[in-house]
Structure 1
Amino acid sequence: MKPYTNAKQPKVSVIIPIFNERKTIASVIIEAYNVHKHVEVIVVSNGTTDGSLQIARNMGAKVIAFDHLLGHDVGRSIGARAAQGSILLFTDGDIVIPAKQMKPLIAAVEQGVDVALNGYSGPVKCKKVHKVVLAKHSLNYLLMRPDLKGASMTAIPHALSRNAVEAIGFEALSVPPKAQAIAIQKGLRVKALKVINVGSKNPLRRKTRPNDPIGKMIVGDHIEAIHWVLTHSAN
């Protein structure tokens, strides 16, 4: 018997991209089911081979599986296309975040926010600020939203209204900084909420130091977003 099942008419869709997350995926899904009474959980497999998919299926999640590797955040776009809820909550399969910390994001959207961000900005009180943190702050400054500091759609968790998803476009969700830029440029209500410190929980970042290819990719995404802003500001 499945411990959980997706709601037939979900209010909230929780989108979870995964790549070999056998150790954490069950806990992530449990927390996802607990964010709202009417919820669906969508797991998007990014070339998973370790049995994570079966765990997700056994727990009643809707699974969208790809045998090959997708782009790093492409799963967000794919999951959003399949979502039925009026609120979309994005998290990752390798970081377990308690439902009670994610519920305020959903509540903010219910109260009229279009893009509810994790207020996490990354460490700035240090001699050498990480390039990803600098990129996030720079983009928000360019967008004339210094109040957001380093809050970013790159970081999980964050929640979007259905209106925001349609305004941003599914494809842009695969490049989170660009999606954020589009949201702000289109006048959507973007708000950074209470900090959920996911930096210390990120196993991928710890594994990839000092070369940090993920960090380089994120900086590249921000450069793409900055180019989009400059191009569209000129028009």
Structure 2
Amino acid sequence: MREEPVSIRNHPDPLVSVVVPAMNEAERIGAVLAQAGAVHPQSEVIVVANGCRDQTETIAARMGARVLSFPEPLGHDVGRSIGAREAKGGIILFIDSDMVISAEELKPFVYAVQSGVDVALNNYNGPIHRQPVHRVILAKFTLNSMLGRSDLMGASMTAIPHALSRKALEVMGAEALSVPPKAMVTAVCRGLRVETVHSVEVGKRNPGRSAGADPLERLVLGDHLEALYELAMQRGPRGGFSDGERRRDLVR
């Protein structure tokens, strides 16, 4: 029999909203929520239960989380977008339901936003020394370079944990979070303070990737292409980069 952790208590006036998309994670959701509820004494935990065919939703509700239920699968990013839209806190922290991350590892993201960071990212680059380098890693590095933020290396809003200020959520809009790299473009172009704040090794904890598969690769690559298009829309067709001394007008 699965042993459920102690109950969590959602604060009526939360400072921190922890958003947890979940689909068929009954085996882990209890431990995940126990850590989420311990991030801050003035917090709420929102579980976006989507497409669940097991007891995920029941366990989350019994523990005291606020559960938003959808019969069909939404995907992690849309789940985060919906959770952020419903969040009451001034700080929105995003985690996943398929990996247990301790409250101590989550707190630095909250502290960073409290200190003035708008987008607090996980300083995790993935297995960059493997050959060939994974295409998703290359996409993340490329986008950050195009944004003029090579200092972020492979950090991304695609990866959890990450946290947003209320200001960041209002500038980007909750709907934009459904395509995280595109939201990242808006954050940087609109002058939000985007920083890597703490490193959490999530690659080895990801059940799908630890088995050697990455079923979301094409989705994430498409998201980055959409983000580059957004960058061109905001900064011009060359993304704000100079054309140098090239005189194209002379060959027209």
TM-score range, shorter chain: over 0.9
Task: Give the 5 Å matches for 1:54-133.
Answer: 54-133=58-137
Identity, in percent, stands at 51
How far apart are the structure 2 equivalents of 1:72 and 1:8?
Answer: 26
- Which structure has the greater CA radius of gyration? 2
1:73 alignment partner, SS class: helix
Q: Where has structure 1 moved over 3 Å in runs of 4 or more?
A: none
1:229 alignment partner, SS class: helix
Residue 55 of structure 2: aligned partner: 51
Identify the match of residue 152 of structure 1 among 149, 156, 173. Answer: 156
CA contact (8 A) 1:205 1:214 kept: no
Residue 185 of structure 1: aligned partner: 189
How far apart are the structure 2 equivalents of 1:105 and 1:160?
Answer: 9
CA contact (8 A) 1:9 1:85 kept: yes
- Deviation of 1:83 after TM superposition, in Å, equals 0.4
- Deviation of 1:213 after TM superposition, in Å, equals 2.9
Residue 34 of structure 2: aligned partner: 30
How far apart are the structure 1 equivalents of 2:130 and 2:74?
Answer: 34
- Deviation of 1:72 after TM superposition, in Å, equals 3.9
- Deviation of 1:115 after TM superposition, in Å, equals 0.4
Q: What amino acid is the match of 2:204? A: S
How far apart are the structure 2 equivalents of 1:205 and 1:72?
Answer: 16
- Deviation of 1:204 after TM superposition, in Å, equals 2.4
Q: Deviations over 1:132-190 (max 9, x none)?
A: 11111010000000000000010000010000000001111011111111100100000
CA contact (8 A) 1:31 1:99 kept: yes
TM-score by length of 2: 0.89
Task: Please list every run of 5 or more consecutive structure 1 residues that lacks an aligned counterpart in the other structure.
Answer: none
Identify the match of residue 225 of structure 1 among 214, 227, 231. Answer: 227
1:20 alignment partner, SS class: coil
Residue 139 of structure 1: aligned partner: 143
How far apart are the structure 1 equivalents of 2:204 and 2:210?
Answer: 9
How far apart are the structure 2 equivalents of 1:72 and 1:224?
Answer: 18
How far apart are the structure 2 equivalents of 1:188 and 1:11?
Answer: 20
- Deviation of 1:207 after TM superposition, in Å, equals 4.7
How far apart are the structure 2 equivalents of 1:214 and 1:207?
Answer: 14
CA contact (8 A) 1:80 1:88 kept: yes
Q: What amino acid is the match of 1:58? A: R
- Deviation of 1:30 after TM superposition, in Å, equals 0.4
How far apart are the structure 2 equivalents of 1:89 and 1:164?
Answer: 12
TM-score by length of 1: 0.96
- Deviation of 1:234 after TM superposition, in Å, equals 1.4
Give aligned pairs, total: 232
Identify the match of residue 214 of structure 1 among 193, 216, 241. Answer: 216
Q: Does 1:171 align with 2:175?
A: yes
Q: What amino acid is the match of 1:178? A: K
How far apart are the structure 1 equivalents of 2:212 and 2:189?
Answer: 33
CA contact (8 A) 1:7 1:39 kept: yes
How far apart are the structure 2 equivalents of 1:158 and 1:3?
Answer: 24
